[in-house]
Amino acid sequence: MAMGGKAGEVFTEINVTPLTDVFLVLLVIMILIAPLVNQAVLKVDPPQVNSKNPPPPPDPKEVKVNVDVTKDGEIKIDGTAINPPDTAGVMKVIKAAQAKAGKEDIPVILNSDEDALQKFVVAVMDASAGCNIKKLSILPPRK
């Protein structure tokens, strides 16, 4: 292998052979793995839409709990402020609504300001879970 140039001169050219070897090895690995990627385990079926039976309209007499969380850290249930705004206070009001409805599974609708603190929203969700609420609707944040 001839180097060329004068004696004592610094060699500044890059040796491309090892770089080419690395690229060829990576190419072979990709060729071997590509068919396996097509057989992915994660296959998601989209939900089926049944347009024959639309859902029944909501009953206006049905008891539901509307919860508002403000950016000031205030939790209001059906317009009444909960003080202190914590999980236990929210649970007390939800249990009273359940007793009024005569059933345990009543809908809870959670609406919060965009700047509301997460701990208050989570407190409402925890209270709903603690009261065995299965129908919790979370509305998009208000601006």
Please say if the pLDDT value at position 98 is more than 80. yes
Please say if the pLDDT value at position 2 is more than 60. no
Q: Give the per-residue pLDDT at 36.
A: 77
Which segments within the chain are labelled E, that is strand? 65-69, 75-77, 80-82, 108-112, 136-138
18-33, pLDDT tens digit by residue? 999 999 999 999 998 8
Q: Give the per-residue pLDDT at 41.
A: 56
Please say if the pLDDT value at position 1 is more than 80. no
With 0.85 as the threshold, say if the pTM is over it: no
Please say if the pLDDT value at position 15 is more than 90. no
Q: Where are the domains of the chain?
A: 65-138
Nearest CA-CA partner of 98 in 130, 60, 53, 55: 130
Q: Give the per-residue pLDDT at 34.
A: 82
Q: Give the per-residue pLDDT at 17.
A: 92
Q: Give the per-residue pLDDT at 5.
A: 61
Element (H, E) at 122: helix 118-130
Structure tokens at 140: 């998009």
Q: Give the per-residue pLDDT at 78.
A: 86
Exposure of 89 by Cβ count < 10 A (0-12 exposed, 13-18 middle, 19+ buried)?
middle
Query: Topology of domain 65-138, per CATH?
Result: Nucleotidyltransferase; domain 5 (3.30.420)
Q: In the structure, what pLDDT confidence band is assigned to residue 103 with cuts at 50, 70 and 90?
A: confident
